[in-house]
Structure 1
């Protein structure tokens, strides 16, 4: 079971860091998407920080279980918020990846809880 947790953690952390990197570059695609969703540019640093903290927390959670569970809860809330923002503007296509990542975050909670 720990191997499943390890694989899920590495994949999630990589996705989070890639996403944080893309947001930090503030490419036209990202800025247009955030504008469409109604996310102010002033929130970008917070979103980037939340993703980096989530990646670090899930990795640290491999050693300290409660840290991993807390990080995964935070990520679940982060991605639930992303789903809400996408659906609020009628962007069902953008909501799907966020929903998948919210479910993956829930899976991290369960996997870490059963491997404590």
Structure 2
């Protein structure tokens, strides 16, 4: 189970790290997507920090299981919030958020079972 967690954690951390970097640097496409959902610009640094912390926590979770579980749960909740934001804005292009959220749930379950 640990190898499965490691694979999901690394891929998810790469996705989160890339997204955090693009959010921190105010990538036009990404920031435009947040604006369409009604996310205030003032939230962008906090959201980027949450993604970066999730990525770091998943990687630290390779060594410290409780950190990995906590990070995976936090990432799953982040993407649950993303799905809610999309639905509230009547933007039903939620597949990426759902897939990443489910990957985070899988990471949490795999890390719990690999202890």
Give the TM bin, normalised by the shorter chain.
Answer: over 0.9
Partner of 2:111 in structure 1?
Answer: 112
Indicate the larger mover: 22-31 or 57-66. 22-31
Unaligned runs of 5+ in 1: none
Normalised by the length of structure 2, the TM-score is 0.96
Normalised by the length of structure 1, the TM-score is 0.95
Partner Cα distance (2:68, 2:3) in 1 = 15
> Which protein has greater RCO, CA pairs closer than 8 Å, 6+ apart?
2
Partner of 2:10 in structure 1?
Answer: 10
Partner of 1:80 in structure 2?
Answer: 80
How far 1:96 sits from its partner (Å)? 1.1
How far 1:34 sits from its partner (Å)? 1.1
Partner Cα distance (2:110, 2:3) in 1 = 10
Say which structure is richer in helix: 1
- The 4+ residue runs of structure 1 with deviation greater than 4 A are none
Aligned length: 115
Partner of 1:97 in structure 2?
Answer: 96
Unaligned runs of 5+ in 2: none
RMSD: 0.9
